[in-house]
Amino acid sequence: MKIVEQIQVGESKTLELKEQLPKNIAIAKAVLAFSNTAGGKLIIGVNDKRKIVGIDDSRLFEMQDKIASIISDHCSPSIMPEIYSVNIEGKLMLVIEVARGNLKPYFLKKQGKTEGTYIRIGATNRLADLESIDELERQRRHISFDEEICHEIRYEDLDVSALIGRFEKQGKPLNAEKLHNLKLVKTENNIRYPTNALMILLGKFSHCAVKCARFKGTTMDVFIDKKEYTGDLFSVLENTQHFILNHINLGAKINGLYREEAYEIPEVAIREALVNAVIHRDYVNRGRDIKVGVYDDIVNIVSPGSLPSNITIEDVFNGRSESRNRVIANVFKELGLIEQWGSGINRIINSCKEYGLPTPKIEEQNDFMDIEIIRSQKSLQTETDANTQKRPIADDYERLRTITDDYGRLTPEKQKILLYLLDHQTINRGTASPLINAKSSKTSEVLYELLEEEQLIIRKGKGRATYYTLKQNDN
């Protein structure tokens, strides 16, 4: 992706934009955060609205020398970024490009490792806690959390029958040698201990639960049903899938002489999304768990933990596979729950497209992964057609005049959202996306412009319950 295109997308895990050269410590924190995560670029000469304003070219070499000195004086271990300029339409930008480091954790010299390590979460640089620092050190040793020994219990004191049964169904005996080869058991001082992977697979950690809820409508205001599933990871997966299927519609179609039943969402998409959640989630933080929400418009699966630090969401869509929990992922592959490495996300997307559903929203949101599979939108589309396409254009303009006299400069997407609000009073992102036939990121941008630049709507609620109303209705 060209640098101009990156700027237009906005700040992310691998991009930070500044209009002017930040303070010394801010530069160091950004460089450390990129080094400890997936690498990235700090671009100077771009304002908050992603407009290239440039820098004073007479100070270019002075700024480059200053940045190099700041990084050398403040960062440990040593970091050697590329510092270069880019000229776009006569405006000069300064780019500090940082590669993902191999000597993690990187930290501020004066603060030390414990209090001076920074990581990149979403579009922010954050001070790393002790758990995050431990994870960085594991990355340097090329070992995952689930490979580490759990000294809290001996292997002989565990009931592993649930796991043995799963392997037997596949015709694969799970003997002592296999347990060691799969890194489910390790021996230390002649004592056999389970690894964290085995404890997770057996559901022995309390945070291995999955919490499910069916909400009324499109917000979290009212529960219709809720369940919490614990136990071995395979049973939890099956119970969670059954919960979702019990709360979505089951239809039928005629194929030749036969009647075939099918859910409104492809089962393969649900299964792959759930498998992805349990394999790639962050099991280090024991205060969080996987949450599944079924709403009138979507099925939402939220899994703790951002992507592994060495990949981005673009890498995932391109089929790159990098598991945070290597042992668990390998066990799932052995049992046939993973068909091919790196194919799960595309299988979710393609199966929904084959069903005629909109592309699911799959995003890295700060330190968790969010998957939204959109349910059948036939009723919404019918309503949308009635409110936009069938209404005479002149009538649309008269209705928009009640909101703003400057309706002529509004894009068609903004006009559709405003017209929808005139008829329905409220709208959320999930409803707006198919309405304007746009991806989640584009929809968020349109809503933001209506909110901040046009000042025609107001935002209410928080998180999943966020919705928008016309500003004139709030007076």
Half-sphere exposure (Cβ direction) of 6: Cα atoms closer than 13 Å? 17
Write down the pLDDT at residue 473. 66
Please state the rounded mean pLDDT for residues 195-209: 93
Please state the rounded mean pLDDT for residues 363-380: 77
Q: Which residue has the tokens 């084959």?
A: 354
Between CA 270 and CA 289 the distance in angstroms is 18
pLDDT at 257 over 70: no
* Residue 217: burial class (beta carbons within 10 Å; 0-12, 13-18, 19+): exposed
Q: pTM for the full model?
A: 0.71
User: Tell me: the pLDDT tens digits for 150-167?
Assistant: 999 999 999 999 999 999
Write down the pLDDT at residue 327. 96
Q: Which residues does 180 contact at the CB level (< 8 Å), separation at least 6?
A: 186, 187
pLDDT band, residue 385 (cuts 50/70/90): very low
Q: Where are the alpha helices (DSSP H) in 78-175?
A: 112-116, 130-141, 161-169
Write b or e for each residue in 345-354: b if 16 or more Cβ atoms lie within 10 A of its Cβ, otherwise e.
Answer: bebbbebbee
Instruction: Kindly report the average pLDDT of the chain as a whole number.
Output: 87
pLDDT at 393 over 60: no
User: Tell me: the pLDDT tens digits for 71-82?
Assistant: 999 999 999 999
Between CA 462 and CA 290 the distance in angstroms is 20
Residue 202 contacts residue 158 (beta carbons within 8 Å): yes
90, two tokens: 């006569």
pLDDT at 268 over 90: yes
Write down the pLDDT at residue 323. 81
Number of other CB atoms surrounding residue 322 within 10 Å: 16
